[in-house]
Amino acid sequence: MKIESIKIKNYKVLRDVEIKEIPSMAVFLGVNGSGKSTLFDVFGFLNDALMTNIRAALAKRGGFNEVISRGEKGDIEFEIKFRPSAEEPLITYELVVSLDEKKNPIIKKEVLRFRRGQVGSPWKVLDFAYGEGTAAVGELNTYDDVKNASRKEQKLDSPDILAIKGLGQFKEFVAVSQLRRLIEDWYVSDFQIEDARIPRDAGYSEQLSRTGDNLALVAKYLYENYYSVFENILETMKERIPGITNVEAQETTDGRIVLRFQDGNFKDPFISRYMSDGTIKMFTYLILLNDPSHHALLCVEEPENQLYPQLLSELAEEFRLYSVNEGQVFISTHSPDFLDAVELDELYCLVKNNGFTEIKKASNNDLIKSLFESGDLLGDLWRQGLLEKVI
| Residue 334 confidence (pLDDT) | 92
- The amino acid at 292: P
Residues 177 and 218 in one domain: no
pLDDT of residue 119: 53
Query: Do residues 18 and 165 both lie within one domain?
Result: yes
Same-domain pairing of 242 and 280: yes
State which of 327, 342, 357 marks the end of a domain: 342
* Residue 141: pLDDT over 70: no
pLDDT at residue 266, as a whole number: 54
Do residues 162 and 200 share a domain?
no
Residue 200 sits in a domain of what CATH number?
3.40.50.300
- Residue positions counted in the chain: 391
Q: Which tens digit of pLDDT belongs to each residue from 201-235?
A: 777 788 888 888 888 888 888 888 998 998 888 88
Please indicate, yes or no, whether residues 125 and 176 belong to a single structural domain of this protein.
Answer: yes
pLDDT exceeding 90 applies to what percent of the chain?
Answer: 45
Q: How far apart are CA 337 and CA 312, in angstroms?
A: 7
**In the listed set 162, 185, 208, which residue is the last one of a domain according to the structure?**
185
pLDDT of residue 19: 96
Question: Is the same domain home to 96 and 160?
Answer: yes
Residues 6+ apart with CB under 8 A from 60: 48
DSSP type of residue 131: T
Q: Is the pLDDT of residue 379 over 70?
A: yes
Domain boundary among 302, 322, 342: 342
383 falls within a domain: no
Give yes or no: residues 335 and 216 share one domain. yes
Could you tell me the residue range of the domain that residue 241 belongs to? 188-342
Count Cα neighbours of 293 within 13 Å in the Cβ-side half-sphere: 13
Q: Does 76 lie in the same domain as 112?
A: yes
Compute how many other C-beta atoms are within 10 angstroms of the C-beta atom of residue 26: 22
Share of the chain above pLDDT 70, in %: 82
* All residues at 6 or more sequence positions from 87 whose CB lies less than 8 Å from its CB, including other chains: none
> In whole angstroms, what is the distance from residue 348 CA to residue 365 CA?
11
Note whether residue 377 is domain-resident. no
Mean residue pLDDT across the chain: 84
Q: Does residue 56 belong to any structural domain of this protein?
A: no
Question: For the chain, how many structural domains are there in total?
Answer: 2
Cα–Cα distance for residue pair 17/28, rounded to 1 Å: 13
CA dist list (Å): 195 to 287, 321, 362: 15, 27, 36
> How many CB atoms are located within 10 Å of the residue 150 CB?
9
In this structure, the answer to whether residues 161 and 201 fall within a common structural domain is: no
Summarize pLDDT for 49-78 with one digit per residue, the tens.
988 999 999 999 999 999 999 999 899 999
The per-residue DSSP string of 141-184 comes to -SHHHHHH--EEEEE-S-TTS-HHHHHTTSTT-HHHHHHHHHHH
* pLDDT score of 252: 66
Residues 306 and 249 in one domain: yes
Q: Cα(119)–Cα(85) distance, rounded to whole angstroms?
A: 18
**If DSSP codes are grouped into helix, strand and coil, which group holds residue 293?**
coil
Same domain? For 144 and 194 the reply is: no
Residue 31 included in any domain? no
Residues 204 and 298 reside in one and the same domain: yes
Q: What is the mean pLDDT of residues 136-163?
A: 72
